Amino acid sequence: MAISTTELKSAIIASLNLQDITPDKIDDDAPLFGAGLGLDSIDALELVVMLEKNYRIVIKDIEEGRPAFQSVRTLAAFIEAKQAT
Amino acid sequence: MGIVAAPGRNVTEVWQAVAHGTCGLKPLTLFPSPRYGQIPVGEIKQDLIELGAPLRSSRSDKLAWLAARDALRDAKLNPAENADRTGILLGCSVGGSFDSERFLINLMKRGIMRPRPTRFHECASAVDLIADYFGLFGPGLAVATACSSGALAIAAAAELIQTGEADVMLAGGTDSLSRTTWSGFHSLLLVDAAGCRPFDVARSGMSFGEGAAVLVLESEGNAVKRGATIIARLSGWGASCDAHHATQPHPEGAGALAAMQSALRRANLPAAAIDYVNAHGTGTRDNDLAEAKALKQLFGDRVPPFSSTKRIFGHALAASGALEAVVCIEALRRGQLPPNPGFREMDPAIGLAPVTALRAAALTHVMSNSFGFGGNNAALIFSQPDTTPQTRSLRPISVSVIGIGMTGPGKVMRRAIEPPMPPAELPVHACGSLDTSSLTPNQRRRLSRFIQMALLAARRCPSPAANDRVAVALGTGFGAIEEGSILLENWIAKDEREPMPARFPGSVHNAPAAQVAIELGAHQLNSAPTAGEISFEGALWQGWCQLAGDEADCALVGAVDELNKYPLGIGKRWGFWTEKTRPGEGAVVAQIVADRSRRGNGAESQPTTEDPPPHVGGYLARVTSLRLGRYRRPFDTTREVEWITAAVDLTNVAAIFSGAKGWPVLDEYFESIVSALSARAGRTLAHLTYKQDCGEFGAASAFGFAAAVEWVRQNQHSALLYTLSPRGGKAICLLEP
């Protein structure tokens, strides 16, 4: 099942309490951490919670999520891969 | 020494477990945890009441009481013989949370309102319990700096003895398991499901624990005088702050290194003199790597034998520094190096292997490390009793107040108390919604209101000079109660699912001090002292000690507290809050420096809630005397006047700023003291109050301090700030022009 990136962006904005940011302001390929949205390691943990709540994907080790948290596109691909298994 | 923890109820039992490297971790039974209940934890399985602990207290209080009782027995100390100069200083970060959680579960799940356990919620509750029970009338204080609290408490207690405030201090730490910290650390993915494996290549997190340990610290003169057996010397201590991140350690271990170096400086010892290090070694990937880097930087290629005993105890948070102090002292006494259970294979990134089996060694000086959230670091050095102490003493100084910034005092408004508390309305002094426009977007979205209040107050205070070594101590009565209750409500409502990892770091009581340090790059001591109404004075005292010890050029001292529906609703039910006694909130941060006889009229830097004033190089007032203690009940005016006049020359004092117009029970004490001091001075001293303007709350005396400083600046007469806590604490602070 293809993941709606707009929906995913909305979920990210809600879970991270990002102010003054709308889904259309987030580029699918922009880095989420560091330079891009300026997120940090604690935001990554909030994304872990969001993935479980919205997509029923459980991550027990943050290293497992690291490659997926590069950008919205990699995260969507990660969710699709997890849901396919 | 007294100790109670998962591996044992006393020093002998604990050492047996330490020596054999016995893992003390077992599945959790204290409270149900459907998600994580099988993960091993260092839980104390014995009934604490059966061990003798008092019934009316929190679990943390009971643990501390048991350790204190045993420490007094072990030291053969009868506190009554020198009660006014015997005090207590404990590290505590969870406080009565475990018991408060039961209150909220009953309320949310069953609609039953049983608030009694919340009486012991504050971190200083154990201090009050033990001081009252054993009759300690010297200084009583707790420090709530997360996982470094226990070590920092021992260090601060030593400073109280060094400055002559006390002859004997009970010092240590206590923390019980709690649902809030349990789910919080799990939400940070910091818990190793296999039990912690410090320094091992496969380590993947910490393990939880609980417990308490208390040392009897005593000046050498006092110990010799009463014929006590000295079992070890505390020859050095050091504190530092990473000023880097709320939860992650500095990747190169810079703060850990600075704390160890500071302890060596204080002890006048070279690094090569250290024979063993009890590492913080939590078992998380980041902590152990950063700590190992710090060890290598300090000791070069001669890192002494080291081990982490966390798999034996679990990480008992604020207690761990005290538990490990006991381990260090026993290692010294027995000449044995404790092993590091959980370690199998060296991590190439660390390149160091800890002690793997108990072995004999001649030990003279040993070091204990403790690091906590907020990048808060402490190191202690214990030495054989026959070593010649070379501990650096503190300089006698007075301090100048350079500037003050405030959030508040809050305006009087009516506030509704939200569910799940029964609906009610109260008059309060509230700061309302904060003007956060000066904060960065990340500070706005991430930091709690509690932290923002402190950060905004610090910004309204003149900035420290560039290159100043800056210490930060922000006292608090209740601590981060709003974040704590949001986390717990969420835990109860969602049955442990959907945790809130971003909120958890804001629930530690030292989070405001840590954020101020990050903003200012303040790398010296970072502390959150707590003792009810005298929490601010505790912070002022800690800042003073850093200046007196030449560990800082400048200290930001203050206090912060926030309104929250639970203390509001419960206080209303108990009849505490009335139209006259109104709860309040706010933050005050003052910059102090060692008195350099700088003098100016300070006109441009009067206290302000507006923009920061320019630093004019002058000062507002000088703090020339500061004392902490506990008063006897029933209140004995004559004795209290003796205590005040022993420390303060009344000749130039024109006014007393008291904590009256808050708790009604204290008003007559304040009145009687002002009358008696006026009689002693032979003239009428003005009795000025501040709680009518800021409300009643733990941090209120910081507003009293700000008002007194301003009064002294304007009138060019001395004023005395006199504060009492309804739970027994007292403080005086003399301000001179």
- A residues 4-33 lying closer than 8 A (beta carbon) to B: 16-20
- A residues 46-75 lying closer than 8 A (beta carbon) to B: 46, 48-49, 52-53, 59-62
- Across the interface, which of B248, B442, B499 has its CB nearest the CB of A49? B499
Query: Across residues B599-616, what is the average pLDDT?
Result: 40
User: Closest residue of A to B193, CA-based?
Assistant: A60
> Could you state, in order of their start, the residue ranges of all structural domains in chain A?
5-84
Helices (H), B559-635: 565-573
> What is the percent of chain B where pLDDT is above 70?
97
Copy the structure tokens of residue B96: 């009565």
Q: What is the pLDDT of residues B476-507, one digit of tens each?
A: 999 999 999 999 999 999 988 999 999 999 99
Beta strands in B451-585 (DSSP E): 470-475, 526-527, 529-530, 554-561
- pLDDT on residue A3: 82
- pLDDT on residue A20: 83
CB contact under 8 A, B189 and A62: yes
- pLDDT on residue B724: 98
DSSP state at residue B353? -
CB contact under 8 A, A20 and B442: no
Which band of pLDDT confidence, cut at 50, 70 and 90, is reported for residue B279?
A: very high
Query: Which of B251, B279, B723 lies closest to B534, judged by CA?
Result: B723
Q: C-alpha dihedral over B177, B260, B274, B293, to 10 degrees? A: 90
Q: What is the pLDDT of residues B435-446, one digit of tens each?
A: 999 999 889 999
CB contact under 8 A, B497 and A20: no
User: Closest residue of B to A20, CA-based?
Assistant: B441
Active site residues of B: 147, 280, 315
pLDDT value at B647 more than 80: yes
- pLDDT on residue A38: 77
Cα distance from N-terminal residue to C-terminal residue, chain B:
44
Domain B2-226+234-383 in CATH 3.30.310.50? The answer is no
Which band of pLDDT confidence, cut at 50, 70 and 90, is reported for residue A64?
A: confident
Query: Across residues B283-291, what is the average pLDDT?
Result: 96
> Could you state, in order of their start, the residue ranges of all structural domains in chain B?
2-226+234-383, 399-736
Question: How far is Cα B162 from Cα B156, in angstroms, rounded to an integer?
Answer: 10
Residue B134: strand, helix, or coil: helix
Which band of pLDDT confidence, cut at 50, 70 and 90, is reported for residue B606?
A: very low
Q: Which residues of B touch A49 (CB under 8 A)?
A: 187, 498-501
Shortest Cα–Cα distance, A73 to chain B (Å): 23
User: Closest residue of A to B190, CA-based?
Assistant: A61
C-alpha to C-alpha distances, B396 to B162, B265, B323, B544, B547, nearest whole angstrom: 11, 19, 32, 10, 10
Kindly state the helix (H) or strand (E) to which residue B687 belongs, with its residue range.
Answer: strand B686-689
B2-226+234-383 with B399-736: one CATH topology? Answer: yes
Q: What value of ipTM does the predicted structure carry?
A: 0.92
Query: Across residues B67-86, what is the average pLDDT?
Result: 97
Q: Which residues of A touch B495 (CB under 8 A)?
A: none
Query: Across residues B263-287, what is the average pLDDT?
Result: 97
Question: How far is Cα B692 from Cα B710, in angstroms, rounded to an integer?
Answer: 17
CB contact under 8 A, B446 and A17: yes
Q: Would you say B142 and B123 are in contact if contact means Cβ atoms under 8 Å apart?
A: yes
**CA B663 to the chain's CA centroid:** 24
- pLDDT on residue B600: 37
Question: How far is Cα B648 from Cα B680, in angstroms, rounded to an integer?
Answer: 12
pLDDT value at A66 more than 90: no
Q: Give the amino acid at B621.
A: A
Which band of pLDDT confidence, cut at 50, 70 and 90, is reported for residue A2?
A: confident
pTM equals: 0.96
Beta strands in B365-410 (DSSP E): 365-372, 376-383, 399-407
The CATH class that applies to domain A5-84 reads: mainly alpha
User: Closest residue of B to A48, CA-based?
Assistant: B187
Query: Which of B580, B526, B563, B537 lies closest to B408, judged by CA?
Result: B563
Q: Which residues of A touch B373 (CB under 8 A)?
A: none
**For the CA atoms of chain B, what is the radius of gyration?**
24
Domain B399-736 in CATH 3.40.47.10? The answer is yes
Residue B97: strand, helix, or coil: helix
Shortest Cα–Cα distance, B243 to chain A (Å): 16
Which band of pLDDT confidence, cut at 50, 70 and 90, is reported for residue B599?
A: very low
- pLDDT on residue B617: 54
Query: Across residues B41-53, what is the average pLDDT?
Result: 97
Q: What is the pLDDT of residues A28-40, one digit of tens each?
A: 998 888 777 778 8
Kindly state the helix (H) or strand (E) to which residue B628 belongs, with its residue range.
Answer: strand B621-630
Q: What is the pLDDT of residues B539-597, one digit of tens each?
A: 999 999 999 999 999 999 999 999 999 999 999 999 999 999 999 999 999 999 998 54
Query: Across residues B275-288, what is the average pLDDT?
Result: 97
Q: Which residues have a Cβ under 8 Å from the Cβ of B210 and sit 6 or more positions away?
A: B5, B6, B42, B43, B44, B59, B63, B175, B176, B177, B314, B316, B317, B319
Tokens 């330490």 belong to which residue? B18
Q: What is the pLDDT of residues B113-155, one digit of tens each?
A: 999 999 999 999 999 999 999 999 999 999 999 999 999 999 9
